[in-house]
Amino acid sequence: MTSRRATITRKTWETDIRVLLDLDGSGRVSIKSGIPFLDHMLHALSRHGGFDLELSAEGDLHVDDHHTVEDVALALGAALDRALGERRGIRRFGFAYAPLDEALARAVVDLSGRPWPEIHLGLMREALGGVASENLTHFFRSLAVAGRMAIHLDVLRGDNDHHRIEAAFKALALALRQAVAASGDDEVPSTKGRLT
C-alpha cells in the first residue's frame, strides 16, 4: 500500500484552512480551528482513528461558527478522500460503538465513493462549547459529502449532550479506523472494480 497522506488547503472569503492528514499515523495531532470545542472533538477523532492530523483554520467567527465548522469538515473530508486514492487494499466498511459514561453512539461507514450522511445525534442543547448543535450535525454531513463516503451515525442514549457528541466522534473514529485498514491485498473492494 502506498503512502496515504494528503494536504488540503481551502481558502474562501469566509475561511482559510490547511489540513495535513496521514491515515497511517499514530494519533498525533496539532489542531487550531479557533473553536476549542471543535478542536477537542477533532482530537478525539484523530486519536481514536489512529490518524495524524495537523489542522489550522481561520474563519469569520465574528459572524458565527457555521462557516468554520462546515469548511473544516469539507477540508478534512477532502483530505481523507485524497489520502485514500483509488481506495485499493482497504477494508472499505467499518462499524463501531463507543460509550462515554451514560451516552452510547453507533457509527457505520462505507468508503464507497458515494456520499450519504444519516446523522441522528438527538442533541437537546442549542449549543455546545460555542458551537451550534445544528452545526455539529452539519459537520458530519459535510464530512461524508467531501470524503465521498456513507456515514450512519446514531447516538442511542445519553442525558449529557457533551457526552453524546463526544461518543459520536469516538464511534466514527473507530469505524473509520476499521474501514481504512489494510485488507491484505491490492484489490478495490467492490464488485464494480472501482470506488472512484
The packing angle between helices 161-180 and 133-147, to 10°, is: 10
Domain definitions of the chain by residue range: 5-180
Query: Residue 169: how many CB atoms within 10 A of its CB?
Result: 27
What is the average pLDDT score of the chain? 94
Is the CB of residue 91 less than 8 Å from the CB of residue 189?
yes
Arithmetic mean of pLDDT, 20-34: 95
Query: Domain spanning 5-180: which CATH class is it, in words?
Result: alpha beta
Q: If pLDDT is split at 50, 70 and 90, which confidence band does 190 have?
A: low
Q: What counts of helices (H) and strands (E) characterise the chain?
A: 4, 10
- Report helix, strand or coil for 1: coil
User: Whole-angstrom Cα distance, residue 54 to residue 31?
Assistant: 6
Closest CA to 67 of 21, 134, 135, 19: 135
pLDDT tens track for 166-187: 999 999 999 999 999 988 777 6
The pLDDT value given to residue 168: 98
User: Whole-angstrom Cα distance, residue 37 to residue 166?
Assistant: 10
The pLDDT value given to residue 27: 86
pLDDT tens track for 57-97: 999 999 999 999 999 999 999 999 999 998 988 999 999 99
| Residue predicted with more confidence, 53 or 188 | 53
- Report helix, strand or coil for 110: strand
Residue 135, all three cell numbers:
452545526
- Of the chain, the percentage scoring pLDDT greater than 70 comes to 94
